[in-house]
Amino acid sequence: MKTRLTKTGWLFLWGALLLYLASLTSQSSLLILLIGIFAGCIAINAGAARRIAKEVRVEAPLSESIPEGGRLRQSWRVTAPWKHQAGFIEVSRPDVPEPVLRIAQLEAGAQVALAPSLSFQRRGVFPHARLEVSSCFPFGLVRCSSPLNLPGEVLVVPAVYSADCPPASGYEPMLGGKFKGQRKSESGAEFAGIRPFKPGDPVKQIHWKSSSKGIGLMVKTFNEELSGRLGIILDCDPPSKPGLFDDTVRAAGSLLFAGLDKGHHVEFVATSDLETVSTIPPFADGEEILRLLARLQPQAGSMSRKNLDRAFASLSKKSSVGLVLTRLTPVTIEFLTEWMGRRRRFSVYAPHGTPLDELPPEVAGHWFGQDSISRCV
C-alpha cells in the first residue's frame, strides 16, 4: 500500500512548519495548539484513507470487448466498508492518466454500480490486475492506494473501416451466398421458376398453385447462390515505426469484414502463430477474428519464407490471397513470383508510401493508412 501527501496536504504541512517557526520566536502556546491540530488532521486523514483503500471492494466484469476509441459499457460495483463511511474513492490504472471510476461518498456498507468513463485508444488486452484503488477521505490531505488483483480483462478490438473487398476466386454453391450462379437450385432467396416433380423432391418445395392446374406436381426452383473464397495472410514482423503494426492489423480486419459483407468464405492466418480462423457467412459474424486480432503481437522473424509457405498452405487451394504487410521484402517478392506462375490470384497491401514497383505485374498493389486503403497507381 502506498501513502502520499496530496497538493493540499503539502500546503497544510508547509503551513504547520511556518507556525512552528513562528512559535520559536513568539513562544505562544496557541501556535503549538494549531500545529497539533494540523498534525491531527493529517493523522486522521491517513488512517481513514488507509482503511478505505484496504477494505473497499470493487467488482468488475470478467470480460468486455470494445472497439478502439470506445468506452466501457458494463457497470462495475463498488462496496464501502461495513462499519465506516467512505469517500473520495478512485479506481485507476497506472498507465492511464484518467481514473476509471470516481465516487464522492458512500455510506457504511453501501453499494453502487457505475459504468467507468475510461476509453481505450489502442487495441490490445488490458487485465484488471493492473488496477489500484485509492482514497484521500475525509480531508483530502493524504492519499492511500492499494493494488486491486481483480480477475478479468478488457479486450480492445481493432476499429475496422470501410474498404473495397479483395478479389475472390473458387466460387461454390452456398446457402446465403450473394452471387448468382448459372444453374438452378432447390433452395435460395431468389425465385427462378418451376419444374416437374421428381422422385426425392421434398414436399415443401411443391408449388401448389401451379400443381392445381392439372399439369401434374410442380416444384419451385431458385437461382443458384454462390460464395467465393478469400484468404488473408497478416505479416507479423515488427515494423520500424511505432503504431504501424496496429495500422496493419486494422487494415487486415477491414479487408476481412469487406469479404464477409460480400458473402465470401473468408480465411485468416497470421505468420506469428499460423492459427487459421475460418468464417463462413451468414452463420458467423467475424467476432472470433476480431478477438484474435486484438491479442496479436509482432514477432521478429515471423515473415520468413518457411512461415509464409506454411501460412499459404493452410488456406484453401481455391481461394485468392491478400497479403497485408508491414514491409515489402525480397522474400515476399520471391514468394509472389513463384506462385503467380501457378495461376494463383494475389493482392498486396502495404503501408502508405511503400515502393511496390518490384511486384509482379499481375499482382494488385494497395496502400493502407490509419483508417483507409487505396489502390496503388
Q: What is the pLDDT of residue 180?
A: 55
Q: What is the pLDDT of residue 189?
A: 58
Q: What is the pLDDT of residue 223?
A: 66
Tens digit of each residue's pLDDT (9 = 90 or more) over 242-269: 889 999 999 999 999 998 888 888 899 9
Please give the grid coordinates belonging to residue 141.
490531505
Mind listing the pLDDT tens digit of every residue in the chain (377 residues)?
899 999 999 998 898 888 888 877 776 677 788 888 888 999 999 999 999 999 999 999 999 999 998 888 899 999 999 888 999 999 998 877 788 899 999 999 999 999 888 888 889 999 988 899 999 999 999 999 999 889 999 999 999 999 999 988 877 656 555 555 455 655 655 666 677 778 877 777 777 677 777 777 877 777 666 778 899 999 999 998 888 999 999 999 999 999 888 888 889 999 988 777 777 665 566 788 899 999 999 999 999 999 999 999 989 888 899 999 999 999 999 999 888 767 788 999 999 989 998 898 889 899 999 999 998 86
Q: What is the pLDDT of residue 39?
A: 87
Q: What is the pLDDT of residue 7?
A: 92
Beta carbons within 10 angstroms of residue 176's beta carbon: 13
Give a three-class secondary structure readout of the chain: CEEEECHHHHHHHHHHHHHHHHHHHHCCHHHHHHHHHHHHHHHHHHHHHHHHHHHCEEECCCEEEEECCCECCCCEEEECCCCCCEEEEEEECCCCCCCCEEEEEECCCCEEEECCCCECCCCEEEEHHHEEEEECCCCCCEEEEEEECCCCEEEEECCCCCCCCCCCEEEEECCCCCEEEEEEECCCCCEEEEEECCCCCCHHHECHHHHCCCCCCEEEEEEEEEEEEEEEEECCCCCCCCCHHHHHHHHHHHHHHHHHHCCCEEEEEECCCCCEEEECCCCCCCHHHHHHHHHCCCCCCCCCHHHHHHHHHCCCCCCEEEEECCCCCHHHHHHHHHHHCCCCCEEEEEECCCCCCCCCCCCEEEEECCCCEEECC
Q: What is the pLDDT of residue 34?
A: 84
Class of domain 2-157: mainly beta
Q: What is the pLDDT of residue 19?
A: 84
Q: What is the pLDDT of residue 200?
A: 74
Q: Whole-model pTM above 0.85?
A: no
Q: Where are the domains of the chain?
A: 2-157, 182-225, 227-375
What superfamily does domain 227-375 belong to in CATH? von Willebrand factor, type A domain (3.40.50.410)
